[in-house]
Amino acid sequence: MSRATLGWIVLGWVGFALLPWYGFDRATAPTITDYVIGGSGLVHGVRGAWWLLPVLAPLLMSLRPALLHPRARNGTWLIASGILGLALIVLQGFTIGLNGWTLDTLKALAGGNGPSQGGMGYGASLTSFAFLIVLCHGLAARGWCRGDAFVTSSIGAVIALIIVFVFFPVTTILASAFADNEGRFAPLEFATKFTDRSIWGLDCLTSDLRCGVAWNTLFLGLLVAVGTTALGLAFALIATRTAFPYKRLLRVMSVLPIITPPFVIGLALILIFGRSGAVSNFLWEWFGVPRSRWIYGLPGIFIAQLLAFTPIAFLVLIGVVQGISPTLEEASQTLRAKSWTTFVTVTLPLMRPGLANAFLLGFVESLADFGNPLVLGGNFEVLSTKIFFAVVGAQQDQGRAAVLSIILLAFTLGAFWLQHAWLGKKVYTTVTGKGDAGIPLPLPRRVALASYFTAIPWALFTLAVYVIILVGAFVRSMGRDYTPTLEHFLTGFRVERTDWGLYFSGSAWDSFFATIKIAAVSALLTAAIGLLTAYLLTRQRFSGQRSFEFGTLLSFAIPGTVVGVSYILAFNVPPIEITGTGFVLVMCFVFRNMPVGVRSGIATLSQIDKSLDEASLTLGARSATTMRRVVLPLLRPAIVAALVYSFVRAMTAVSAVIFLVTAEYNMATTYIVGRVEAGEFGLAIAYSTVLIVVMLFAILAIQVAVGERRLGRRSASPTTSPVAAQAIP
């Protein structure tokens, strides 16, 4: 038995015999009193909780391999111990709740409500995870994944986390799609709701009536996916393949929208293009163009989502463009291909993984977006807002919300399948273990001009939007009273000096500190789990891999409103009772944002030759060492993308957390929403401005800490042509 396996067995015993079995929602760390009075699983079992004592059997079974002959240590006992331990914990957790037996059959057999118990605590969580890892080590001992315990444990841990924090809450709410208001199974009601004319109607093609909400959502998603991919590619090409003098400023303009709460962008667009907006007033006063409400509806949502989601495409594509080997392009030109032909036949095909992933993320983000359609939707309905009003509106039809969520999942699954069909089984490897002395070639003139004419006007438009946001924070009332003032900042972020030190008396400080803490923790976990998942998907082969990959996208595809409600339904009662804690917010953010780390990691790993991993393993390095010393340094663009995106989205998320926040863990965005509802727009914009500045510093810190990927390629001076550079010794 390896020391790692023995260590996990010991941790399983510690969780059962020492740590508190119940009470995961403790605000402070458990004390010695908790161990004795609060009770570990062993103490509870001895005192009457008989259903916990059977857990001793798999714990004792896990020690059996240490007593066997070395030839008999084939992992069978470890597998049996892990399966039995997990089964016992899951069985007792879901059959015994706060009010006794959870199944009517058990109540009838027992002749009463039976025993009761609370949610899992630190002890139950540690013991369950130890059983999982012991099971994975047993599978490795039987030869799974070439006997690599790190790989089997990673796959097992990621699958378990996805099951607990994605499939379990999502299936909890989706199951209500097939139930009536009394909770009884009613498939006919599902069919009626699913085929409703308001969802699939095509009246807009033959009359002035509106089309169904499903077609609206699909059309908007395709428009946004194409637009964000094109804009992201233009920014990536300018940043990596041109001598544009303002690359850094352009890069900031491309990333800036991602660090802004979506409804703030919508508010800025209204202040610019609304009936009383700056542009509308200018066109009316100077050219007599009547004011209109064109910004409300498809055009407004489309512009707002382009602003919000183009940075995602840029962050995915910039690493892909950087990873293209210049040697392949030079070989094309050596064969007398023109620069345009080289770009179309060599460069662009090698970008396929990045383009496909950027398109997929833009499409899924558009489908799941809630803030922009809520502010700018007007009469243009989309699925996310329909789900929100089905949950919290006057109708309160949870079944209808679940049906609409299933339609969103179907759209996402279709996009997922089309992406794989387009990529096919072709190889896109451009980063190998061989030296690459090639120099990146300049873009063809028409590509460079198209990139400039696409990206620069968009960057200027983005700048104008943020000028409006900035001005709104420093005036009394945007659109009415432009008197300069710092009143909004002082209301939210006042700091007073007292006899006992500084006192943060501003009303926004509590939510600000809670948001920073939650976002920092969730960003690290999101990047770690996301990139580990990408590594497993690209470097390992195991049954159910395609389903596993889709599972990583599941929570990303469902609107945050549904995710928030599903977390309440799933985690407000035993066995996993974590609502009201900071942990539920962290897990919500991790599995909402993890797909970006997965997709960017897959796009980057698709370019890295597997021979680099194999060389490390051949030299005796373990998979964990290979991951740390070979793969991670080459994954730096994906690491930056995952960290930046997850931190920023945790700082700016609205829909998912609005149901999960508490007085202790009130997030910045929910505070801002409250101020908007109260009509305090100046304070809301001021708080958003502070968040933007904080996130800009955080992005710079992440880029400095992670660093840039070094591929050992030469770079030509601005005055040296590629042909002349090849002749330089």
| pLDDT one-digit tens code per residue, 484-527 | 899 999 999 999 888 787 888 899 999 999 999 999 999 999 98
- Distance (Å, rounded) from C-alpha 183 to C-alpha 175? 10
Same-domain status, 135 and 230: no
Same-domain status, 101 and 209: no
Same-domain status, 368 and 222: yes
Task: Return the bridge partners of 504, or none.
Answer: 495
- Distance (Å, rounded) from C-alpha 304 to C-alpha 326? 36
Which residue has 């850094």 as its token pair?
248
Give the domain CATH number at 237: 1.10.3720.10
Cis peptide preceding 326, ω within 30 of 0: no
Same-domain status, 23 and 102: yes
Determine the angle formed by the axes of helices 213-241 and 383-392, rounding to 10 degrees.
130
- CA angle (174, 176, 178) in 5-degree steps: 95
Which of 142, 165, 184 terminates a domain? The answer is 142
CA distances 225 to 165, 298, 302, Å, are: 27, 14, 10
Summarize pLDDT for 277-291 with one digit per residue, the tens: 778 878 888 887 888
Summarize pLDDT for 122-146 with one digit per residue, the tens: 899 999 999 999 999 999 988 888 8
**Residue 705 belongs to some domain of the structure:** no
Same-domain status, 206 and 137: no
Q: Which residues of the chain have pLDDT under 50?
A: 27, 72, 432, 435, 713, 716-729
SS (H, E, C) 214-282: HHHHHHHHHHHHHHHHHHHHHHHHHHHHCCCCCHHHHHHHHHHHHHCCHHHHHHHHHHHHCCCCHHHHH
Nearest to 83 by CA among 67, 61, 51: 61
Torsion, Cα of 147, 617, 423, 434 (10° steps): -170
Total number of domains constituting the chain = 2
Nearest to 2 by CA among 158, 133, 125, 146: 133
**Residue 431 belongs to some domain of the structure:** yes
Residues 6+ apart with CB under 8 A from 437: 327, 713, 714
**Residue 689 belongs to some domain of the structure:** no
**Residue 93 belongs to some domain of the structure:** yes
Same-domain status, 430 and 357: yes
DSSP string computed for 509-524: HHHHHHHHHHHHHHHH
Same-domain status, 15 and 99: yes
Per-residue pLDDT at 514 = 92
Which of 75, 110, 142 terminates a domain? The answer is 142
Provide the 3-class DSSP secondary structure of residue 714: coil
**Residue 567 belongs to some domain of the structure:** no
Per-residue pLDDT at 371 = 77
Same-domain status, 309 and 429: yes
Nearest to 602 by CA among 671, 550, 675: 550
Residues 6+ apart with CB under 8 A from 521: 586
Task: Return the bridge partners of 502, or none.
Answer: 497
Same-domain status, 259 and 386: yes
Same-domain status, 267 and 383: yes
Q: Which residues of 534-564 are buried (b: 16+ CB within 10 A; e: fewer)?
A: bbbbbbbeeeeeeebbebbbbbbbbbbbbbb
Which residue has 């991919």 as its token pair?
229
**Residue 162 belongs to some domain of the structure:** no
Nearest to 588 by CA among 608, 611, 603, 566: 566
Range of the domain at 396: 200-479
**Residue 332 belongs to some domain of the structure:** yes
Same-domain status, 115 and 220: no
Same-domain status, 223 and 92: no
To the question of pTM greater than 0.85 for the whole model, the response is no
**Residue 390 belongs to some domain of the structure:** yes
Sign of CA dihedral 294, 298, 304, 306: negative
- Distance (Å, rounded) from C-alpha 385 to C-alpha 527? 29
Which of 417, 446, 479 terminates a domain? The answer is 479
- Distance (Å, rounded) from C-alpha 344 to C-alpha 329? 11
Per-residue pLDDT at 126 = 94
